[in-house]
Structure 1
Amino acid sequence: MKAETTASGASVGESPDSGDRAHAELRLMRSLLIGIFVLLTVFALYFGRAFFMPVILAFLLALTLTPIVRFLRKHGIPDVLSATLLVLLSVFLVGSAGYLLSGPVIDLINNSSSIGLQLTDRLAPFKQPLQRIVDISRQLEALTETAQEPNVQKVAVAPSGMLSTAASNILGAGTSITIVFVLSLFLLASGTLFYEKIVQSFASLSDKKRALRVVYDVEREISHYLLTVALINVGLGTVIGLGLWGLGMPNPLVWGAAAALLNFLPYVGALMTILLVTAIALISFDTISYALLAPAFVLLCDIVEGQFVTPTVVGRRLEINAVAIFIAIAFWSWLWGFVGALMAVPLLVVIKVFCDHFDGLSHVGNFLAAQQTMAIDDEVAENNHKPAA
């Protein structure tokens, strides 16, 4: 005899509260499993960064160069040939930049102590209001040292194995760079093979078509964004380098390259560039008023790029809200250091574009979207629902 059911779907012998309790327990269990999966993923990324970091960098590089490969494919150039040429060109550019910048950067690092002393002397007139606070802190430190037990001995551990550690770091960096370029070469040369493998994992024809459409849309939007942002950053670095050269700033090539690289960190990168240029300009020029022209020029270039160039060229649909950007930079810098911080925003854009193409994840993409974009979407929706006059 079949159990009779109510309109809500529960059996006659079952109470509605037991069904709700079962659903709540099921949702709680699913949330716990998702939390455990996220924690395990974070631990895997942290302890396996020697593997995951070059692999993700290779995918980002391949996505950046994909529009160029697609353009050359339309003009009859095979993917293997175009991918090989692009990767070799990338290796040449990275190697040349590293060679040209290594000398000035090493000099700056070696002279960092003297630069700090010169900067301190230059800013001495502005330190008078804070001198009393510094004196009080020194007196407190002296009292603390006097109160310590006289028999306590301070032990200093001398660093050992510095040469072996440096050699190991250089070898690891060389291996990671090799993996990045070789893997990106295979990804670019494979053409549509990677997408075909994804589509073949679905059974029905409708699922295959939907998966193919989603994969191509995501790849097209992300690759266009990464290539466009990379070109904008190179242009920004070129303009800043030329402007600082015109102002007489020492090592303008270094500051142009730093501006281009650090601009992958929105807000934070521009602030770092301005602070570095300000410090070097204060000890390089005779007057403070002229020295402030260099950071003012960098600030002007950053404002024009951030408020006009990038929103016009890239579009506001792929803008990310500032809170999500700062959280992503903090998380990935903790996870993988400076390289992780540089990859934070591109990975955030990848996640947003991927979530926008799935209804179940659309709320995540909406959370990552910038406030201006959300306001525009709400205004459009409101105008569409207004009755016609």
Structure 2
Amino acid sequence: MKYIVRRTPFDGRLSEVPAAQEGKGWPETRRTLTELSTIGLFLLALLLALHSAASLVVPMVAAIIVGSVVAHVGDRGQRIGIPPVIAGLALTAILGVGMFLLIEAIAEPLSTLVERLPLVLPRLIAAFGDLLAPFTTLQARLTGGSTSAEGGIPSMEKMLGSLDFGLVAGFIGGLTPAFGEFLIFLATLVFYVAGRARLRRQSILAFVGREERLAAIRIFNATEASLTHYFGTTSVIYACVGLATGLIALTAGLPAPVLWGLFAFALSFIPFLGPAVVSLAIASGGILLDYGLLSALWPVGAFMVVHLVCENAVIPAVLGRRFEINPFLVFVSIIFGTWMWGAIGAVLAVPLLLIGRTIRSEFKVESRVSLPS
């Protein structure tokens, strides 16, 4: 056999390669690069399609996630003699009415907040101008500028004036879906719950091998159980957050404390951004009512304390490490979901991340549970 002496490109050492294998590496590398490029283009086209069809995809994805939870709870109706389909459809009707009432309750406060955002600017300037005066003076000395007689107010006005309140208003307004999207959500939810058992059976039978079918069963069961446990636990905890927010609003003298509680309950499902929007709304409400700086800020501090305690102490203690997700991944998924599907995408970011984590854990050999033959 003939050999060819070739220098290794990494360490520069000489090595002998059979002449028959010379030149065979590049076609395989080119084929691999072509396959990776095709997959990348497909994923890019899929993301653009999902982004363009957000008005159809978002309510359907949300309905499938909610339907998985409702149907999983409905399956337990067999213990008391209720067929799973009947129990699931009854829960769907109750959930639909509850969501409609919740959206109807928070739609008016949201629209009022969006309309009053530009009015908050001059009051913020008046409230925080004196506090930022030393920083404005320092900035003027470092940049060689001059301070005015009003201290930090002009710079504060310039800084806040550069903020894009349209983005904030668009995000807040996107939390209340359009009527057409809500109908798509309800219709998809009803049909998914009604045909879930048959859809699961057909999906499982689509696999050929026994191990693949057992893996599909494990993934379906684990995903539905994880979503049910997550939403059931967080709903109770966030209901307590909403109750505490309502009491804070009542103590602070804000109007409609019940609506403030519902507002905090709904937005608590959006990590990071939801509490920020609630804090901005509480501060804006206090400033617009001329309560003074301290009276406007202490409800914000009280709400943040309640929310931080629930997020960092109560939820980890109740859910445990099973649902622990890297905060960086949560933040990135929320930003990406907001870019893809708006405010509702931010709501769906954590459930989708939880589904991905559950599927990944089911593929691990050490986490699989042995099933009977």
Please indicate, yes or no, whether the TM-score normalized by the shorter chain is above 0.5. Answer: yes
1:297 aligns with 2:302: yes
Aligned partner of 1:125: which letter?
D
Alignment partner of 1:211 is 2:206: no
For 2:231 and 2:188, how far apart are their aligned partners in 1? 18
Change in 2 beyond 3 A, CA 1:230/1:194: farther
Partner AA of 2:260 in structure 1 = W
Q: Secondary structure at the match of 2:178?
A: helix
Counterpart of 1:225, as a letter, is Y
Q: CA deviation at 1:275?
A: 2.7
Please, which of 235, 238, 248 is the counterpart of residue 240 of structure 2?
Answer: 235
Question: 2:335 is matched with which residue: 326, 330, 339?
Answer: 330
Q: Which residue of 2 aligns with 1:32?
A: 37
2:321 to 293, 306, 316: 316
Choose which of 59, 66, 76 in structure 1 pairs with 2:81: 76
1:264 match: secondary structure: coil
Equivalent in the alignment of 1:381: none
Do the aligned partners of residues 286 and 202 (structure 1) sit closer, same or farther apart at CA in structure 2, a change above 3 Å counting? closer
The CA RMSD over aligned residues, in Å, is 3.2
Q: Tell me, yes or no, if structure 1 residue 259 matches structure 2 residue 282.
A: no
**Partner Cα separation in structure 1 for residue 56 and residue 291 of structure 2:** 49
1:216-260 Cα shifts (integer Å, max 9, x gaps): 222222332233333332332222222322332223233322322
Is this contact kept in 2: 1:122–1:283, CA < 8 A?
no
**8 Å CA contact 1:79, 1:188 repeated in 2:** no
Tell me if structure 2 keeps the 8 A contact 1:67–1:224. no
Instruction: Provide the C-alpha distance between the structure 2 equivalents of 1:34 and 1:134, rounded to a whole number of angstroms.
Output: 54
Q: Which residue identity is paired with 1:316? A: R
Query: Identical aligned pairs, as a percentage?
Result: 22
SS at match of 2:102: helix
Asked if structure 2 preserves the Cα contact closer than 8 Å seen for 1:233 and 1:263, the reply is yes
1:340 aligns with 2:337: no
Asked if residue 14 in structure 1 is aligned to residue 27 in structure 2, the reply is no
Give the Cα separation in 2 of the matches to 1:354 and 1:88: 29
* 2:100 counterpart (83, 92, 95): 95
Between stretches 250-259 and 297-306, larger displacement belongs to 250-259
Q: How does 1:16-165 map to 2 (within 5 A)?
A: 18-126=23-131, 128-129=133-134, 130=136, 132=148
Alpha-carbon distance between aligned partners in 2 of 1:65 and 1:253, rounded to the nearest angstrom:
27
| 1:193 lines up with 2:198 in the alignment | yes
Q: Decide whether the 8 Å contact of 2:60 with 2:184 is kept in 1.
A: yes
CA contact 1:332–1:340 (8 Å) conserved in 2: yes
Residues 114-141 of structure 1: per-residue CA shift (max 9 Å, x gap): 44444433334335444657758999xx
CA deviation profile, 1:136-159 (whole Å, cap 9, x unmatched): 8999xxxxxxxxxxxxxxxxxxxx
Q: Which runs of 5 or more structure 2 residues have no equivalent in the other structure?
A: 2-16, 137-146, 159-173, 367-373
Q: Please say if 1:177 is aligned against 2:182.
A: yes
Deviations 1:292-320 (A, max 9, x none): 32112101111111111111222223222
Q: Which moved more, 1:106-115 or 1:253-262?
A: 106-115
Return the offset for 1:359: 5.0
Equivalent residue, structure 1, for 2:228: 223
Structure 1 letter corresponding to 2:38: L
Q: Distance in 2 between matches of 1:322 and 1:202?
A: 35
Q: How many residues align?
A: 320
Pick closer, same or farther for the CA change 1:358–1:31 going to 2, 3 Å: farther
* C-alpha contact (below 8 Å) 1:104/1:254 kept by paired residues: yes
Q: 2:360 aligns with which of 352, 355, 364?
A: 355
- Letter of the aligned partner of 1:226 in structure 2? F
Tell me: CA distance 1:114–1:270, structure 2 relative to 1, closer, same or farther (3 Å).
closer
Q: Which amino acid aligns with 2:356?
A: I
| 1:280 alignment partner in structure 2 | 285
For residue 125 of structure 1, give the secondary structure of its aligned residue in structure 2. Answer: coil
**Counterpart of 1:331 in structure 2: which amino acid?**
F
Residue of structure 1 in register with 2:249 after alignment: 244
Structure 1 alignment gaps of length 5 or more: 4-10, 140-168, 363-389
- Counterpart residue type for residue 281 of structure 2: L
Shift of residue 291, structure 1, vs aligned partner: 3.2
Residue 39 of structure 1 deviates from its aligned partner by 0.3
Q: CA deviation at 1:201?
A: 0.6
TM-score where L is the length of structure 1: 0.72
CA contact (8 A) 2:74 2:85 kept: no
Name the aligned partner's letter for residue 303 of structure 1.
L
Q: CA contact under 8 A between 2:72 and 2:224: conserved in structure 1?
A: no
CA shift digits 1:29-50 (9 cap, x unpaired): 3321221121011111011222
Query: TM-score of the superposition, structure 2-length normalised?
Result: 0.75
C-alpha change, 1:38 and 1:252, in structure 2 (3 Å) is: same
